[in-house]
Amino acid sequence: MKYKIEWKYKIKGHQGVTFNSDYLDGEVAIQTGEELEKSGKATELYFYDELGTSWTLKEVKKLNAEIEPEPHDLTVFFDGGFNKDTNQGGLGAIIFYKQGKKKFRIRANELFDEMDTNNEAEYAALYFALNLIEELGVHHLPCEFKGDSQVVLKQLEGEWPCYEETLNKWLDRIEEKLKNLGLEPRYTNIPRNENKEADKLASQALEGKKIFSKTQLI
């Protein structure tokens, strides 16, 4: 979990000046808050998580201790491939997350029958990633989803309308899954060359190559 710190700096003879930090990793945010408190110059010290909830330093320490053993700080890359000759979709997903002091990466793909379009494969790939997240036991956390389909991402954000019934059904499934898991999604459109790994996984699924791996990162 990341936190933004807000505090008021004491100035002799004045009410003080309010400062805000960028979002910081939990441990860095706690260390910063402790040092601000020790300085004796900071008052009204609050931490705001990525969901907009405010916490005191004591509350953040307790919350961070509870979160650390569980998977958190998730970033998901997803991509969908489509074979119009077989009406099959290849789904690829990479999930980066932290657990305790360690970092992990999951690479997985899946072949999905009865697809109609490449956009449907993109939606199915994101839903596939959500199922992987659910299996990890992740809930009530922010999560960043990165893909190279601007149309799909804008529709997921609600910025662009979706008129196709099939895609709307996928939207409903995704929103229901996000709600059940309590996830706060952030969608980021990235260039195709930054999504090569997810694209390769999707292509391998279409070739009949099933992949699932979990790796601890250095």
H or E segment at 22?
strand 17-25
The residue ranges of every structural domain in the chain are 2-67, 72-217
The per-residue pLDDT for 51 is 78
| b (16+ CB within 10 A) / e for 162-186 | beeeebeebbeebeebbeebebebe
Q: What is the pLDDT of residues 12-28, one digit of tens each?
A: 777 778 999 999 988 89
Q: Is the pLDDT of residue 210 over 90?
A: yes
Pick from 139, 5, 135: nearest CA to 72: 139
Average pLDDT score, the chain:
92
Q: Distance between CA 50 and CA 183 in Å, rounded?
A: 11
The per-residue pLDDT for 67 is 75
- Pair of tokens at residue 193: 């060359």
Task: Determine whether 8 is exposed, middle or buried from the number of CB atoms within 10 Å of its CB (0-12, 13-18, 19+).
Answer: middle
User: How far from the centroid of its chain's Cα atoms is residue 158's Cα?
Assistant: 17
DSSP class of 85: T
Confidence of residue 90 (pLDDT cuts 50, 70, 90): very high
Pick from 117, 46, 101: nearest CA to 217: 101
Pick from 106, 1, 99: nearest CA to 52: 1
Is the four-CA dihedral 53, 54, 57, 62 of positive or negative sign?
negative
Q: Under a CB-based contact definition with an 8 Å cutoff, are residues 123 and 171 in contact?
A: yes
The per-residue pLDDT for 94 is 98
pTM: 0.78
Classify domain 72-217 at the CATH superfamily level.
Ribonuclease H-like superfamily/Ribonuclease H (3.30.420.10)
User: 48: how many CB neighbours lie within 10 A of its CB?
Assistant: 18
- Pair of tokens at residue 180: 């059940």
- Pair of tokens at residue 27: 């441990």
Q: Distance between CA 121 and CA 18 in Å, rounded?
A: 47
